[in-house]
Amino acid sequence: MTGIVISGTGLFTPAQSVSNEELVTAFNAYVENFNGEHAAEIEAGTVEALTPSSVEFIEKASGIKARYVVDKTGIIDPEVMCPRLPERSNDEISILAEMAVAASNEALAQAGRSASDVDAVLVACSNLQRPYPAIAIEVQEALGIEGFGFDMNVACSSATFGIQAAADMIKSGNSKAALVVNPEICTGHLNFRDRDSHFIFGDVATAILLEKKEDVRASNAYEILGTKLKTKFSNNIRNNFGFLNRTSPETAADKDKLFVQEGRKVFKEVVPMVSAMITEHLEDNNLRADQLKRLWLHQANLNMNVLITKKVLSRDPDETEAPTILDEYANTSSAGSIIAFHKHKEDLDVGDVGIICSFGAGYSAGNVIVQKIN
Ligand code: COA
């Protein structure tokens, strides 16, 4: 695949941020309340006492220090522990579309483009707030784009899968320029009462504009040299929420209607899968690992990214080779590798090659090899 470029990227960051300290204080207050309320059952051995969380564990195990969120108040209230988002009327723009529009406007401006230059919108993300009408069509309407839009979900790999879909559409002549947008309110699917995962996610939106190489107007454009996607079924990251289970996600019995994972297994299984996939993909494109100037990796766990980069490069990476945004943003699902790309793409030289790589539930993994052209 050549001839298609990423000509602009955009990032919407929510105004509020929650530090590990704030999150752990709320969690531990919840634990204390729960254990106090169930003291007799705990004493009798019929209820298991909850264990407190720790700031040190979170940073050491994941590299996360804070996360941006769309509603801080609800998340850090031990009585609530989830984002409280007032429902909007059908006449108002939905929150996901609003975030997507903000990120898209930046991507368009960066590319020196306006809505009239674009004819396709793909909203590619893990956490769609409704089934229909597609959020992508609402974004299309809000931006004033003539053409078509659709939503797609491949969990954390949605952005790279969306990039391949958009690039294929442009290549085949079905679109002249396409926006791939990744609005993620991950705190909506996170169980803030689960010690193993309450710290993992944050909220954000990213956008990517793709167009033909000959149409590019702005600098810092990256040509797509190749894409490679892979999926392999696994239950190790799962969320069973859906229309066929209409019970409250608040009750203990419904914990699996929120994000659940076997984090250790994910770590062990995904690291070899992704590093092998990057190595094979480079070979397919007649590239050597030492030609890679940058790896914009999915942002789920710092140790995981260091290990993947080490396996690919066969040496210890320096900080600039695989930039981290995880400390500030936490895991933002499909948006993570795009935030890293957005923030760390301007300092490369023309001709430099890098790879955007995502991985997550499914399992799913996606590579996009890119080369800076101007
Ligand atoms: N505070 C303090 N201690 C905690 C804790 C918390 N919040 N959560 C777990 N622990 C404890 C565990 O009880 C365990 O204690 P034990 O050894 O006494 O049993 C210990 O810390 C290790 O727990 P574990 O879950 O094995 O930690 P880990 O080192 O594997 O890190 C993850 C957990 C989730 C951060 C890590 O496995 C990970 O990021 N995996 C990849 C996940 C991923 O990429 N997911 C994709 C999502 S889209």
Per residue in 44-73, pLDDT tens?
999 999 999 999 999 999 999 999 999 999
Residues 169-194: pLDDT tens digits? 999 999 999 999 999 999 999 999 99
Token pair, residue 177, equals 């320029």
Among protein residues, the one with the nearest Cα to ligand 1's atom 37 is 263
Atom 14, ligand 1: residue with shortest CA distance: 196
When mean pLDDT is compared across 1-5, 248-252, 285-289, the lowest value belongs to: 248-252
pLDDT reported for residue 246? 64
* Token couple for 182: 């990744």
Q: How sure is the predictor about 250, in pLDDT bands with cuts at 50, 70 and 90? A: low
156 a catalytic residue: yes
Which CATH code for domain 222-372?
3.40.47.10
Instruction: Mention every residue, 6+ apart, whose C-beta is less than 8 A from residue 250.
Output: none
* Alpha-carbon distances, residue 77 vs 74, 258, 291, 319 (angstroms): 5, 19, 49, 36
The per-residue pLDDT for 319 is 80
Per-residue tokens: 223: 């040509």
Task: Report the relative pairing of strands 203-212 and 177-185 from DSSP bridges.
Answer: antiparallel
Write out pLDDT tens, residues 110-127. 999 999 999 999 999 999
239 close to ligand 1 (CB < 6 Angstrom) = no
Percent of the chain with pLDDT over 90: 93
Tell me which of 82, 125, 156, 357 is the catalytic residue. Answer: 156
Question: What pLDDT, on the 0 to 100 scale, is given for residue 242?
Answer: 84
Q: Which residue has the higher pLDDT, 255 or 89?
A: 89
Of ligand 1's listed atoms, the one at least distance from the Cα of 261 is 45
- The answer on pLDDT for 105 being more than 80 is yes
What is the average pLDDT value for the chain, to the nearest integer? 95
Band of the pLDDT at 252, cuts 50, 70, 90? Answer: very low
**Does ligand 1 have an atom closer than 6 angstroms to the CB of 326?**
no
